Amino acid sequence: MLVYNPPTRKQMFDRKKCWFGQKGSKCITLLVLLIAYFGFALKDSAAPTAQSQELRRDRAAGTVTFSFPAFSIGKLYYLEWLGGPVNFEYGVRSAAPFAVAQNKVTVPANSKIKLVLNNSGPKTLKTLANLGPQIISLDAHTVDKFDDEALKYLVLTKSIEQLNVTEDDITDRGLKDICSNPSITDLKLARTYITGKGLPYLRNLSNLRRLALNDTRIDDGALAQLLPLQKIQVLSVAKCQLSDKGVENIAKLKALSNLSLAGNTKVTNNSISSLQKLPLLYSLDLNQTSVDSRAIPDLAKMKKLQLLVVNFSNADLAKLKQAMPHCISSVAVKRAITPEFFAPLK
């Protein structure tokens, strides 16, 4: 007598023992692929939205259209690359903005743009995450209230390469958010509330080339945190209460070409021997330091130096010029900051 023993559940799905296990999984995979294919085909054949039509027109014309809020959040400037021995950055093409950041603005797709925020800008920073890679520079230094809370949206804006938060209410917590964006190459933190405790966050900015820390609460020991940043070319640490010990750490940044130590009265003639170790140093601001005419012989050994700011008397300045004929300009000024040499950092 024949007895039918139905397969167990395990046998039904065992790939080695049943047809369903051997063939079924392949059929299911094929079915999923067919559904996905026809789904995308139907999506493409559907009536295009106004946004998709605008995007297609922009691509055909080689342009990009930004959608800003209905109110102005700032001004837009075209950028161009600044070469030369002092400026290693994108700078504004014209002092006048080409547009207001409001409603729709169409620009060439290959353009680089700077956005200077007004007081309405920080409220809408989250909209920048939806903009294209053309906006690479963000300037908030004229905003009345720009603080750590506003900075959290920069985490979403990976295209920003230049950031200026000079004189804003930024603390070490805000610096941590800034440094979550590895695209930043130019960072201006002058006259903010950051301290030496926040400087380790800068290590995340492996492409950082320009850094302004002037008039902040950093000291000699904190500068050691900059040593992993060997691409820095321009550094401003004016009025930071630094001494010769801090300069020793700065002298280990071998790519430096532009340095401001202005206003650090504890920097003395002893620092010149450290600065001689910077092979590419082109511009140096020693105004309102304790460096005096006795350092002229050591300064004269810095053959690459072309721009030098000191606080010498007219007689000592004449001696300096005679000892350093290779220097384009050696001037004595009373200001701690020299905008003619370090304007890009302000």
Q: What is the pLDDT of residue 261?
A: 97
Q: Which residue has the higher pLDDT, 8 or 302?
A: 302
Q: For residue 220, what pLDDT band results from cuts at 50, 70 and 90?
A: very high
Instruction: Say if pTM beats, i.e. exceeds, 0.75.
Output: yes
CA gap 334, 338 in Å, rounded? 9
Q: What is the pLDDT of residue 84?
A: 58
Residues 170-219 have pLDDT tens digits of 999 999 999 998 999 999 999 999 999 999 999 999 999 999 999 999 99
* pLDDT exceeds 90 at position 54: no
- Eight-state DSSP code of residue 228: T
Which has the minimum average pLDDT: 106-120, 188-202, 323-337?
323-337
pLDDT (mean) for 265-270:
96
Specify whether the CB–CB gap between 235 and 259 falls below 8 A: yes
Average pLDDT across the chain, whole number: 81
Specify whether the CB–CB gap between 74 and 271 falls below 8 A: no
How buried is 191 (Cβ within 10 angstroms: 0-12 exposed, 13-18 middle, 19+ buried)? middle
Most confident stretch, 20-34, 146-160, 205-219: 205-219
pLDDT (mean) for 225-232:
95
Please enumerate in sequence order all residues whose Cβ is within 8 A of that of 41, keeping only pairs 6 or more positions apart, or say none: none
Measure the CA angle with vertex 80, ends 133 and 284; round to 5°. 115
Specify whether the CB–CB gap between 55 and 104 falls below 8 A: no
Q: For residue 294, what pLDDT band results from cuts at 50, 70 and 90?
A: very high
Which has the minimum average pLDDT: 34-43, 124-133, 175-184, 312-321?
34-43
DSSP per-residue codes, 106-133: EEETT--EEEEE-TTGGGGGGGGGGS-T
CA gap 115, 163 in Å, rounded? 10
Q: What is the pLDDT of residue 146?
A: 87
Which domains, ranges and CATH numbers included, belong to the chain?
A: 55-208 (3.80.10), 221-346 (3.80.10.10)
